[in-house]
Amino acid sequence: MSIATPLFRFDDSYARDLEGLFEPWRAAQVPAPHLLMLNAALAAELDLDVEALSSPEGVSVLVGNAITEGSSPIAMAYSGHQFGNYSPRLGDGRALLLGELIDPQGRRRDVHLKGSGRTPFARGGDGKAAIGPMLREYVISEAMHALGIPTTRALAVVATGERIARDTPLPGAVLVRVASSHLRVGTFQYAAATGDFDLLRRTADYAIARHFADVATADQPYLAFYARVVAAQAALVAQWMHVGFIHGVMNTDNTTISGETIDYGPCAFMDRHDPGTVFSSIDHGGRYAYGNQPGILQWNLARLAEALLPLIHADAERAIAAATEVLRGFDEHYLFAWRSGMRAKLGIERDSAEVAQWIDGVPALLAQQQVDHTLFFRRLSEAARGNAAAVRSLFADPTAFDAWASTWRQLLPASEEGRLAVAQSMDRVNPIYIPRNQHVEHALAAATGGDLQPIQQLVEVISRPFVERPGLDAYAQPAPADDAPYVTFCGT
Ligand code: AMP
Ligand code: MG
């Protein structure tokens, strides 16, 4: 079925420019689509008609049963290192790029379906997704967006009306997500592995035009492009570290070129600060633990460099030397972004080598007593206002905090007025509401059973993470310490 109403006006640059990196494909038909979540704010941002999207015709487009006139969905090809092992042919096994639209601000955005049936890249998978994981992506990606962290967005989740085979049969769903693009490190690994130099060059030119247009005129555009991806990704992972976000499956196919967070699988926010925190049921070795994320990202960016080498210089040794030099800059970019963000979180304006060194010790302070990451920073603003009791009570042995806080106070403004202003600015960067694991779990279980109220309320709460509101105290609290360890599941 094709629908004439222009729900989306697509302009498909990827399909036009990158022949060889996709397969035209259609979504599987599903029996009884039913809209679970629609992101009205995002729809407005994209100048989409919410009423039309929620109509039966709109929902059939969102789930992939129908396509708007002129739409040519594709499954994208990419490779990837998964947990360090290279897979030459991953690609959209259960996803489709529906099309690209230009938003009112002139930005090109991908509209993408996940869970829309098997594609030529499906390998052994069924091409399907369950309601729970698709709603998890909706909640967590919208939380990240509200926190000011670059991310793909969630436009809608549509239940399919079918049961899919998992450990127990589960209701199926399709997620509609929006991204500034779906170019990944794995896209370049795939293009490079074809051995087709022209395809690799076209892919890089495409990525440059789409994301870093100003480097096109640089002396060495492909090296400059690489440097920009390194900088964008270093800044991104620093923001993850600030809020205690653990991606869970930082494979190279889940690392974007744009610098947006993508592919929310077994991800979660850490409560107690511990660099070894892992939630994913399949991450046995802790490869993607909280504290490993910057190092893993650098490893992924080295894989991007390998793919780009032929473009950087015809002479392999010179190409390696130039790319290595750029990759060495990762630490500096990361530390700059991480320390700047930490100064904002701690309310410290002064920037010096001593301050930087002192800031570098903050994670150890939190880790020693496994203090709640989010509450520590949020309650610290109360201490700037003169009442340290709340933050102090997070420490089982508060003497370490007292010693730390006496240095911290010396770094605050001397005047009371100045300290109050600092406290306010801290509250603008330190969230009180994050998607706490027990609330996410409760909301996903309720939604799977047909009750959408908890997830709608959770989305409402996390969409304004910095503004404390009455009646929402439970959302600000970590799970009770005696709860079983939280485990998240990937690819389900
Ligand atoms: P992810 O872990 O979601 O990034 O997925 C890794 C790879 O597995 C991608 O190529 C996905 O398209 C593919 N994949 C994950 N789940 C399924 C599924 N149920 N059916 C087909 N392909 C899948
Ligand atoms: Mg993926």
Closest to 112 (Cα-Cα) out of 90, 134, 81:
134
How many angstroms is it from 491 CA to the middle of ligand 2? 9
Predicted confidence (pLDDT) per residue in 302-351, tens digit: 999 999 999 999 999 999 999 999 999 999 999 999 999 999 999 999 99
To test ligand 1's pocket by mutation, which of 87, 89, 90, 287 has the most ligand atoms within 8 angstroms of CB?
90
Euclidean distance between CA atoms 81 and 88, whole angstroms? 8
DSSP state of 64: T
Active site residue 253: yes
Q: Is 450 in the pocket of ligand 1 (CB under 6 A)?
A: no
Predicted confidence (pLDDT) per residue in 410-460, tens digit: 999 999 999 999 999 999 999 999 999 999 999 999 999 999 999 999 999
- Asked if residue 486 has pLDDT above 60, the reply is yes
Q: Name the closest ligand to CA 87.
A: 1
Which atom in ligand 1 lies closest to the alpha carbon of residue 490? 2
The helix/strand/coil state of 32 is coil
Which pLDDT value is given to residue 464? 98
Which pLDDT value is given to residue 485? 84
Counts of helices then strands in the chain (DSSP H, E): 18, 13
How do strand 2-3 and strand 67-68 relate by DSSP bridges? parallel
Closest to 121 (Cα-Cα) out of 195, 12, 23:
23
Which pLDDT value is given to residue 489? 79
pLDDT band at residue 5 using 50, 70 and 90 as cut-offs = low
User: Percentage helix, strand, coil, to 5, in the chain?
Assistant: 45, 15, 40
Buried b / exposed e along 189-204 (16+ C-beta atoms within 10 A): bbbbebeeeebbebbb
3-state secondary structure 319-344: HHHHHHHHHHHHHHHHHHHHHHHHHH
Candidate list 92, 253, 274, 283, residue with the active-site label: 253
Q: Name the closest ligand to CA 120.
A: 1
pLDDT band at residue 2 using 50, 70 and 90 as cut-offs = low
Residue with tokens 């991007």: 304
CA angle 464, 468, 473 (to 5 degrees): 105
Q: Is 490 in the pocket of ligand 1 (CB under 6 A)?
A: yes
Q: Is 94 in the pocket of ligand 1 (CB under 6 A)?
A: yes
The helix/strand/coil state of 162 is strand
Q: Is 130 in the pocket of ligand 1 (CB under 6 A)?
A: no
pLDDT band at residue 6 using 50, 70 and 90 as cut-offs = confident
- Burial of 365 (C-beta count, 10 Å sphere; 0-12/13-18/19+): middle
Tell which phi-psi region holds residue 99, choosing left (phi > 0), alpha (psi between -120 and 50) or beta: left
pLDDT band at residue 84 using 50, 70 and 90 as cut-offs = very high
pTM check: above 0.75: yes
pLDDT band at residue 58 using 50, 70 and 90 as cut-offs = very high
How many angstroms is it from 490 CA to the middle of ligand 2? 10
Predicted confidence (pLDDT) per residue in 185-237, tens digit: 999 999 999 999 999 999 999 999 999 999 999 999 999 999 999 999 999 99
The average pLDDT across 54-79 equals 96
Residue with tokens 């990827």: 14
Which pLDDT value is given to residue 1? 60
pLDDT band at residue 70 using 50, 70 and 90 as cut-offs = confident
pLDDT band at residue 481 using 50, 70 and 90 as cut-offs = confident
How many angstroms is it from 137 CA to the middle of ligand 1? 14
Which pLDDT value is given to residue 490? 63
Contact predicate 83/287, CB 8 Å: yes
The helix/strand/coil state of 303 is helix
- Asked if residue 138 has pLDDT above 90, the reply is yes
Euclidean distance between CA atoms 302 and 84, whole angstroms? 12
Which pLDDT value is given to residue 176? 98
Name the closest-CA residue to atom 15, ligand 1: 491
How many angstroms is it from 129 CA to the middle of ligand 1? 9
Handedness of CA 318, 319, 324, 329 (dihedral sign): positive
Euclidean distance between CA atoms 111 and 101, whole angstroms? 7
Q: Is 93 in the pocket of ligand 1 (CB under 6 A)?
A: yes
List of residues 6+ apart from 61 with CB closer than 8 A:
3, 7, 8, 53, 67, 68
